[in-house]
Amino acid sequence: MLTLDILRDIVLAFPETEETRSWGAVSFKVNKKAILFWNPAHDCPVFKVPFEERDHLIGMEPDTFFTTDHHRPHALVLARPATVELEWVRATVERTWRAQAKKATVKAYDAAGPVTRP
């Protein structure tokens, strides 16, 4: 089961990430850009994903992934902590981090070689 503490460990393992607050909720950023949020109303993470991926995830795994009227206009998907797979979380966080971190940061991260990741 995914908890905010586990998610925090995953995200903060990436260079130059930080925990902040956005709209009164926990969020994580790199390069001043949000990677993801923790939605307190649903007690779950909100991930950045392309619209097509979001729709696919919801269609294939509706017990895990969902959206709300508030989130629907945005390229975001909510995930139920009890059922979301940690490998999917790690991969999605890394993909978003890579897209938003400075190129030099990503290059240095890659040059460091394999590391133990949470």
* CATH number of the domain enclosing 97: 3.90.1150.30
10-residue averages of pLDDT along the chain (118 residues) = 96 96 93 95 97 98 97 97 97 97 95 67
Domain membership of residue 60 (yes or no) is yes
Q: How many domains does the chain have?
A: 1
| pLDDT at residue 80, as a whole number | 98
Residues 6+ apart with CB under 8 A from 78: 39, 42, 44, 45, 46, 47, 65, 66, 67, 68, 71
Q: How far apart are CA 92 and CA 110, in angstroms?
A: 17
| pLDDT at residue 22, as a whole number | 87
| pLDDT at residue 96, as a whole number | 97
- Quote the pTM value: 0.92
| pLDDT at residue 112, as a whole number | 85
Domain membership of residue 23 (yes or no) is yes
For the record, the structure tokens of 45 come out as: 């993470």
| pLDDT at residue 9, as a whole number | 96
